[in-house]
Amino acid sequence: MKKLNIAIIGLGNIGSYLYKYLKDNKNILAEKNNCLPIVKYVSAKNKKKKRNIKIKKSQWLKDYLHCTKLKDVDLIVELIGGAEGPAKKLVFDALKNKKHVVTANKALIAKYGDQLAKIAEKNKVNLEFEAAVCGGLPIIRSLKEGLIANKISRIYGILNGTSNYILSSMDKQNKSFKEVLHDAKRLGYAESNPSADLNGDDVSSKLKILSSLCFNSFLNSNIYVEGIKEIDKIDIDNANNLGYKIKLLGFAEFFKKNVYQSVHPTLIKKDSYVARIDGVLNAVIVDGKPVGQSTIQGEGAGPSATTSALVSDISSISRGNIKFPFSISSKERKNLKFKNIEERIFSAYLRFEVLDKPGVLSNITNIFSKNKVSIKRLVQNPIKNKRSSSIIIITHDAKNKRLKKILAKISKQKFIRQKPKLIRINNL
């Protein structure tokens, strides 16, 4: 039987889980793929860290980069992380030396994916990154293979489990952002430094990769990104009262040779599919022709879900399933123009905390009217004992730049007690 010699570089939670999985399941994988996977070498920053796995002395590499040159290595699994430094060096060197690469590194692929793909194609090796986007969901494989027949016009979804856990817990548990974040860390749903999850960067990397695969284009770094840090419990409650849920939505659309990419908190109708995805789940929705709308939902993160994805890539390579990293040859990928968010049309939710005095409402509505944005709904809630009010406005459709102009203008008014909120609505 054929053999596939593997080096796993990076032995954190995911690397250790994968190591154990491949050891325990090598026979069933061999039976399915007609090829025996063997973990020949490993490397880790801290060799002495306590791990629940048995590693032979001979398996440890002296220098992690050696694996790119060893003859008895066919495939390198990169689990170091980060777009720069050792991960970047490893993956570039591996592909240059004609080793297949499987990685869970979304930051690296989102930044250097185009360059890496060219090297992989030139050297006829595979570069696979199912694990980099939405863990256990086979979304990359579905786009590259299961839905290969389709011209995709739109992809969107909930791509970050940490933010989704926080938003849905704030909704259900009547807790503040801070309290829920604290719980999430305790439960292992948020990292000790969760900033990439909360500021939208994690979703941004994933979305760039997905939109590139969907639209047969090079990675497009133009993307509007806004995280969930400024969402207050009161916004979630207001959304509920108005028939919406707030979700951090990654959204990419292709039309007239333009691509539009965005990540921002979004009001979504309560009874829609996406609004009901709660907790750490991920969900991706794809609109394609001829297939129509397809949805994939599942566990987006964690060692077990990520291992499921890594093993699917390792198996594909071991079956000799040769593919272009981004579905189509680099020679055929396009440079798409970016459609800026400012020209895009939204209806929006706005919240203004104001001093309760005569003329405020007319001043606000006047600014809307001057900027030609019409108001669909307005609710004014007096705040007890505080001589102040909360004014909530749902607008009709308007260009983003007009909404921003209104926000800036009203922010400067003397009666404004707090930075106003703007959350876009998407009637999915």
Closest CA to 264 of 132, 404, 366, 55: 404
Closest CA to 213 of 114, 344, 79, 90: 114
290 near a copy of itself (CB under 8 A): yes
Kindly state the number of chain residues that form the binding site for a copy of itself, as judged by CB under 8 A.
Answer: 55
52 is a site residue for a copy of itself (CB under 8 A): no
Closest approach, Cβ 149 to a copy of itself, in A, equals 3
Q: How many CB atoms lie within 10 A of CB 317?
A: 24
Residue (324 or 338) nearer to a copy of itself, CB: 324
Do 158 and 131 touch, CB atoms closer than 8 A? no
Side-chain-side CA neighbours of 145 within 13 Å: the count stands at 14
Q: Which is nearer to a copy of itself, 100 or 402 (CB)?
A: 100
Among 81, 86, 138, 194, which residue interacts with a copy of itself (rule: CB under 8 A)?
138
Assess 288 for contact with a copy of itself (CB under 8 A).
Answer: yes
What residues numbered 193-252 form the site for a copy of itself, per CB under 8 A? Answer: none
Nearest CB to a copy of itself, comparing residues 17 and 156? 17
Comparing CB distances to a copy of itself, the nearer of 157 and 227 is 157
> What is the smallest separation between the CB atom of 287 and a copy of itself, expressed in angstroms?
11
State phi, psi for 343 to the nearest 5 degrees: -90, -5
Nearer Cβ to a copy of itself (136/420): 136
Using a 10 angstrom Cβ sphere, with 0-12 exposed, 13-18 middle and 19 or more buried, the burial of residue 255 is: exposed
Q: Tokens 């297939």 label which residue?
A: 291
To the nearest whole angstrom, how small is the minimum distance from the Cβ of residue 60 to a copy of itself?
25
Mark 293-322 with x for binding to a copy of itself (rule: CB under 8 A) and - for no binding. xxxxxxx---xxx-xx-xxx--xx--xxxx
Region near a copy of itself per CB under 8 A, out of 229-237, 239-247, 323-331, 404-412: 323-331
Interface stretch with a copy of itself, choices 160-168, 325-333, 380-388, 402-410 (CB under 8 A): 325-333
**Considering 88, 99, 111, 206, which one is annotated as catalytic?**
206
- 365 part of the interface to a copy of itself, by CB under 8 A: no
Task: Provide CB contacts within 8 A for 180, sequence distance 6+.
Answer: 165, 166, 169, 170, 173
Binding status of residue 323 toward a copy of itself by CB under 8 A: yes
Minimal distance, residue 253 CB to a copy of itself, in Å: 19
How many of the other CB atoms lie within 10 Å of CB of 243? 11
CB atoms within 10 A of CB 307: 25
> Which pair of tokens denotes residue 134?
């939405």
Which one of 95, 147, 275, 422 is in contact with a copy of itself (CB under 8 A)? Answer: 147
Which of 59, 123, 150, 381 lies at the binding interface for a copy of itself (CB under 8 A)? Answer: 150
Of the pair 206, 323, the CB lying nearest a copy of itself is at: 323
**419 is an active site residue:** no
Give whichever of 10 and 302 is closer to a copy of itself, judged by the CB atom: 302
What span, in angstroms and rounded, lies between the C-alpha atoms of 194 and 181? 9
Contact pattern for a copy of itself over residues 243 through 282, marking x by CB under 8 A = ------------------------------x--x------
Q: Which of 12, 23, 25, 98 binds a copy of itself (CB under 8 A)?
A: 25
Binding window for a copy of itself (CB under 8 A); candidates: 52-60, 198-206, 286-294, 335-343: 286-294
CA distance 318 to 29: 10
- Measured from the CB atom, the residue of 329 and 411 that comes closer to a copy of itself is 329
Q: Is the peptide bond before 290 cis (omega within 30 degrees of 0)?
A: yes
Name which of 161, 109, 163 is nearest 313 in CA terms: 109
The site string for a copy of itself over 75-114 (x = CB under 8 A, - otherwise) reads: ----------------------------------------
Binding site residues, a copy of itself, CB under 8 A:
17, 21, 25, 28-29, 31-34, 130, 136-138, 141-142, 145-150, 273, 276, 288-299, 303-305, 307-308, 310-312, 315-316, 319-324, 327-329, 332
Residues known to be catalytic: 206
